């Protein structure tokens, strides 16, 4: 890329002036290759002022790499970039921000030990005081309906709350070009609608938006242009408002995703039962769990819906064994009291858990896929403590093949995979362990439509084979697709059980505010 950084003194053009305006962003022949893959190959892309432009493609198509090039986080091997008609070289994110480019990453770039305000402050003009930044955060969150506490440490936030931090940080920079990578992947339907209002307001003021999402209905509802990538190349440009979900799927993956097979099965014995689980928060920003009661039987998928930060993290810690403060009988696995057992002991009894954080908790970033099997495999260590590396490599290769994971092989580091491909591998890792109970949080976060359909199909197969499955998700479409029953979590409490047939977006949305007590009905009885 050639050129020099561009001054940001010129005002953004209103959306109405798009027809006569020079492009806000012009990419020509962008190419980026890594040792095992060509991420981008000769990509050209044009974004007009005030345009909400979708970039669509399956996992590994090169979308995130392209966005990082625009933001200066990755250096291209070839190609050129122009902003507002002037050739520029963006050598780092600081220069991108000086050009008026802001980005919300799919994998968050936040410091866990700092507060929300301190994380936001790092990306802003240092002439502002921390107190002024906090005031601006409060004003912005109130304006756009994004609940955040400026003084709260980031390590106490759930995934959805961290995403709000990234979005607010970008909004405070008043960007000319805003890049959003899977911004709604863990937002509730109500929060998505609020975000869309915000984005349309920004576009009306002349801000251009590059929008990456695997949710085709969102792209059709929000975006006015779409560039489709496949295998690192541009394969099509369209107006998504004139397309269907099926036609967009064909452009993206060459086919429509397979329909889920949701067969009726006979329920087995109760595998997980939680009775009157109450736990005080372990930090000032946590959530108290209050009289939690839930049940999951063999041969069913049970979902937990809710806005991030309402106690899901605390509940999952208690169920997985990372928090062992519960009374022994408050959590029972196949009739055995496990409230004080640690994760390894619960795994021995057949409980497998996949957390929402892929890297750092679900997988060790620098270890190979084969070595990451050590986290959950009981038979990975032989006599004398020697690792059974050949067996691990064979198992990893089998998961890569069965779940169609795009990776360089069993020796590929976990951090080298795209988010969706790593998720497919981790889901496969837990399913192949043949659990009696699988607890999974945000199973298809940031995953393309084809991979999401595959993961959901595998969870249903697991359920059909007699496994008990508990899914915690903020994506209502996902819960409606695969669950037999639903609970809703709000303010550390769990709603009564709701059969899928009686669940609607409106009803579940109301319950997310804790209003189930006013919604009396026979469906409240435990199934």
Question: What secondary structure does DSSP assign to 152-206, as a single string?
Answer: SBGGG--HHHHHHHHHHHHHHT--SEEEEESTTTT--HHHHHHHHHHHHHHHHTT
pLDDT in tens, 222-281: 999 999 998 899 988 999 999 988 888 888 877 776 677 777 778 999 999 999 999 999
Cα gap 260→216, rounded to integer Å: 17
Residue 235 in 3-state DSSP?
A: strand
Greater confidence (519 vs 6) lies with: 519
Q: Is residue 208 part of a domain?
A: yes
Q: Is residue 365 part of a domain?
A: no
Which of 422, 433, 425, 427 lies closest to 400, judged by CA?
425
- 192 and 77 in a common domain: yes
Q: Is residue 416 part of a domain?
A: no
- 467 and 326 in a common domain: yes
- 141 and 89 in a common domain: no
Cα gap 495→266, rounded to integer Å: 25
- β-strand pairing of 25-34 with 78-83: antiparallel
What's the pLDDT score for residue 383?
74
What's the pLDDT score for residue 6?
33
Greater confidence (133 vs 3) lies with: 133
Q: What percent of the chain has pLDDT above 70?
A: 91
Cα gap 471→514, rounded to integer Å: 20
Q: Which helix (H) or strand (E) holds 440?
A: strand 437-441
Cα gap 326→458, rounded to integer Å: 32
**What is the rounded average pLDDT of the residues 65-74?**
94
- 514 and 501 in a common domain: yes
Lowest average pLDDT, out of 287-291, 298-302, 339-343, 414-418, goes to 414-418
What's the pLDDT score for residue 429?
94
Q: Does residue 52 have a pLDDT over 90? A: yes
Provide the angle, in degrees to the nearest 10, between the axes of the packed helices 189-204 and 130-144. 110
Q: Is residue 345 part of a domain?
A: yes
- 324 and 298 in a common domain: yes
End of a domain among 227, 253, 279? 253
- 241 and 282 in a common domain: no
Greater confidence (107 vs 17) lies with: 107
**What is the rounded average pLDDT of the residues 156-182?**
86
Q: Is residue 295 part of a domain?
A: yes
Which positions ≥6 away from 125 have C-beta within 8 Å?
A: none
Q: pTM for this one?
A: 0.69
Angle 228-234-238 (CA atoms, 0-180°, nearest 5)? 40
- 179 and 163 in a common domain: no
Q: Which tokens belong to 526?
A: 């435990």
End of a domain among 170, 185, 209? 170
- 95 and 129 in a common domain: no
- 204 and 325 in a common domain: no
Q: Chain-centre distance of CA 338, in angstroms?
A: 30
What's the pLDDT score for residue 46?
96
What's the pLDDT score for residue 187?
67
Q: Which helix (H) or strand (E) holds 313?
A: helix 312-320
- 512 and 446 in a common domain: yes
Residue 139's pLDDT band, with cuts at 50, 70 and 90, is very high
Domain at 43, CATH number: 3.40.50.300
The region that residue 84 occupies, defined by phi over 0 for left and psi between -120 and 50 for alpha, beta otherwise, is: left
Count of domains for the chain: 3
CB count within 10 Å of CB 198 equals 17
End of a domain among 219, 253, 287? 253
Q: Is residue 406 part of a domain?
A: no
Q: Is residue 153 part of a domain?
A: yes
Q: Does residue 522 have a pLDDT over 60? A: no
Find the Cα–Cα–Cα–Cα dihedral 166, 308, 216, 260, rounded to 10°: 150
Q: Is residue 262 part of a domain?
A: no
pLDDT in tens, 357-412: 888 889 999 999 999 998 887 677 777 778 888 999 999 999 999 988 989 999 99
Residue 512's pLDDT band, with cuts at 50, 70 and 90, is confident
- 157 and 293 in a common domain: no
pLDDT in tens, 408-419: 999 999 998 887
In terms of residue numbers, what domain contains 46? 15-100+175-253
Q: Which tokens belong to 138?
A: 């409060």
Cα gap 467→288, rounded to integer Å: 30
Residue 107's pLDDT band, with cuts at 50, 70 and 90, is low
What's the pLDDT score for residue 130?
94
Lowest average pLDDT, out of 374-383, 402-411, 469-478, 499-508, goes to 374-383
- 218 and 74 in a common domain: yes
What's the pLDDT score for residue 188?
64
Greater confidence (14 vs 30) lies with: 30
Say which DSSP state 99 is in. T
């Amino acid at each position: 890329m050639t050129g020099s950084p561009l001054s940001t003194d010129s005002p953004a053009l209103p959306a109405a002036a798009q027809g006569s305006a020079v492009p806000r962003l012009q990419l020509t022949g962008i190419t980026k290759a890594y040792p095992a893959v060509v991420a981008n190959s000769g990509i050209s892309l044009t974004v007009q002022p005030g345009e909400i432009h979708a970039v669509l493609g399956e996992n590994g198509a090169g979308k995130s790499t392209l966005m990082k090039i625009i933001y200066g986080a990755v250096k291209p091997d070839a190609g050129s970039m122009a902003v507002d008609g002037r050739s520029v070289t963006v050598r780092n994110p600081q220069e991108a921000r000086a050009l008026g480019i802001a980005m919300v990453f799919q994998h968050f770039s936040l410091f866990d030990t700092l507060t929300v305000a301190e994380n936001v402050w790092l990306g802003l003009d240092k002439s502002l005081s921390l107190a002024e930044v906090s005031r601006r955060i409060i004003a912005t969150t109130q304006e756009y309906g994004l609940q955040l506490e400026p003084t709260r440490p980031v390590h106490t936030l759930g995934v959805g709350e961290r995403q709000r931090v990234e979005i607010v940080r970008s909004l405070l920079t008043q960007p000319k070009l805003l890049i959003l990578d899977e911004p709604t992947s863990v937002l509730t339907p109500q929060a998505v609608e609020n975000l869309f209002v915000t984005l349309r307001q920004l576009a009306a003021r002349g801000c251009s938006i590059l929008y990456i999402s695997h949710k085709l209905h969102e792209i059709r509802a929000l975006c006015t242009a779409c560039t489709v990538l496949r295998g690192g190349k541009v394969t099509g440009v369209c107006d998504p408002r004139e397309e269907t979900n099926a036609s967009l799927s064909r452009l993206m993956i060459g086919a429509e995703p397979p329909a889920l097979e949701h067969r009726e099965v006979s329920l087995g014995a109760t595998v997980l039962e939680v009775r009157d689980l109450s736990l005080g928060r372990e930090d000032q920003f946590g959530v108290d769990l209050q009289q939690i009661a839930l049940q999951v039987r063999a041969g069913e998928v049970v979902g937990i819906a809710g806005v991030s930060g309402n106690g899901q993290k605390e509940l999952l810690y208690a169920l997985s064994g990372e928090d062992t403060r519960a009374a022994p009988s408050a959590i029972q696995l196949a009739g055995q009291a496990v409230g004080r057992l640690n994760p390894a002991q619960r795994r021995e009894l057949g409980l497998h858990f996949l957390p929402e954080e892929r890297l750092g908790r679900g997988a060790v970033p620098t270890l190979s896929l084969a070595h990451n099997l050590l986290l959950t495999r009981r038979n990975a260590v032989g006599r004398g403590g020697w690792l059974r590396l050949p067996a691990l490599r064979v198992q990893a290769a089998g998961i890569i093949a069965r779940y169609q994971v795009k990776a360089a092989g069993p020796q590929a580091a976990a951090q080298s995979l795209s988010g969706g491909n790593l998720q497919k591998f981790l889901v496969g890792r837990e399913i192949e362990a043949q659990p009696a109970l699988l607890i999974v949080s945000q199973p298809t976060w940031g995953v393309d439509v084809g991979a999401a359909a595959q993961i959901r199909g595998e969870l249903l197969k697991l359920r059909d084979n007699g496994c008990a499955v508990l899914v915690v998700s903020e994506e209502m479409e996902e819960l409606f697709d695969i669950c037999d029953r639903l609970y809703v979590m709000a303010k550390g409490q769990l709603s009564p059980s709701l059969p899928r047939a009686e669940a609607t977006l409106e009803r579940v949305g109301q319950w997310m505010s804790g209003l189930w007590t006013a919604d009396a009905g026979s469906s409240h009885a435990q199934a």
